[in-house]
Chain A
Amino acid sequence: MIAATRRIVRFALQSMWRNLWLTIATGATVGLTVLSLSALLAIHVGIGQVVNSVEKQLNLTLTLYPTVTESQANTLVIAINALPHVQKVTYVSKEQVLEQQKQSGDPEILRSIEAIGENPFGPSLIVGAKDSKAYLSIINELQKSQYSALIEGQERHFEENQSFLQNFSNFADKVRYVVLAMTLVFALISALMVFNAVRVAIYTQREEITVMRLVGATTSFIRGPYLVELFIYSAFSVIIGGGLFILLLYAGQPYLTTYFGQENVNLLAYFKDNALIIYGAQFIGLFVLSIVSALLAVRRYLNA
């Protein structure tokens, strides 16, 4: 068994060396597939990060009536915090609101404040949710009559917000679906490229498979070297293609940071943190795909 395995490995390495151009062509195809898959994943993750960052910047400001006391506002804060998908609720006291308005420097507002002679503003709450869709459910909850005595302009403002959030949420969903669909289509194309590369590689050796069979080689002895070769192709393609892509990210991340900010889009960090999972999955996927392609191709010539 050990001797047979050693022979199979030797035949595989010998075949790769002696079919160098075929090895290079097949290896390059599989390597480019890894590079393409990494690029697709980067686009998928990058766009997701951009959409998420925009979602994070969204918030819902609830203006409370000036008569609302701090205690009532705190009760409301607790109630909102208890809602699902709420990430953060910030309480802004009426004094802080007044200060913010004064600092805005709008002469009309300043004149109005002076004319009234007292603080006309009520406190406000800034609600942050986990994603854009969550705001819609939060708004639905806050539209209940129990909050109408606390939240100013409840109906009108919420309708405007609801419409914007609905549109944004739909847009974000569409972007995600389009990117996912593109990823799947290109992943399918990549899979077909690998499938074809393996079949062509085996097709060029179809006569040899027939000869091996005629001199008494078992099916496993014929298939064995191909499986070893495909293991090597998959491993090296992932190492070289993946390594090259990480290097590209090192070069490209500063530009992404300039455009989107380090916290919003950081593909390099994503790929570094998840390298084992991403490239482990790519290796397993490629290896399984190429094995299936090889077994189908070899079977055809074994039966010939």
Chain B
Amino acid sequence: MYLVVEQLLNGLQFGLLLFLLAAGLTLVFGIMDFVNLAHGSLYMMGAYFAATFAAWTGSFVLGSVMALGATLLLGIALEYVALRHLYGRDHLDQVLATFGLILFFNDAVRLIWGPAGLALPLPAWLTVPVQIIPGIYYPAYRLAIIAVALAVAALLYIVVMRTRVGMLIRAGASNREMIGALGINIKLLFTLVFGLGAALAGLAGLMQAPILTVQIGMGENILILAFVIIVIGGIGSIRGAFLAAIFVGMIDTLGRAFLPDLLRKVLSGAAASTAAPALSSMLIYLLMAIVLVVRPEGLFPAAKR
């Protein structure tokens, strides 16, 4: 029983982290119709900034806040210098250009920080396990991730659904040309959205950093999952990204947790141990394939143009 609760928390934590990454991606893809493969690089930069600033200031929280600002600025600069010239272009051109950016960022990081990677140590109060209900201990830091991600999700919901900027963002997602025709400064809006997406990716990166390591190429594997999530959730839909991310996080974690034991009931021990990790990592893609067949527009698509 305790095991199930703990694994559910693990799944939720992973899902929420994925949401932060997917939210930025889905905004940029949905609203700007722009395929940004370099989103994972922004995730990596968030982690590198946080590790650097935390080492400078000696404070994890302060370093994280500064890193968040730095990633936001980097995102805006990136959009201004490079990406805005690609909006009118074919998706394939965008993929090519942003793939180039991945290589650029990886090598820039190698030049600046070296190939070995960095550590982002946590303050002592975040490294202890917390007793959430009697008998169940859970890492304080993973609880903190859950709390921060839920707060960000709520904030995003309020901004997108209840504010004027949010209205423009939603309008942009439904019909780009029309809001341009209505005299909205679409260029500024795009820059803003891209900066926001970058900051969210940076937040995901810096929160993941203490659990993993800060290293070159850390954003590439997880970006694939983020793309899966926006496909399942429906491109451009924050709500879809949120639900799909939690779905994917749960499937991934619970699959890893319980599939080996289930398989051992039917297969021999060795075969089950080998097949289970492969199968559980496949489940997510299986889900995506099913969604693509049954509802190609995603489970919770944004309102259509």
A binds B: no
A interface with B by C-beta (< 8 Å): none
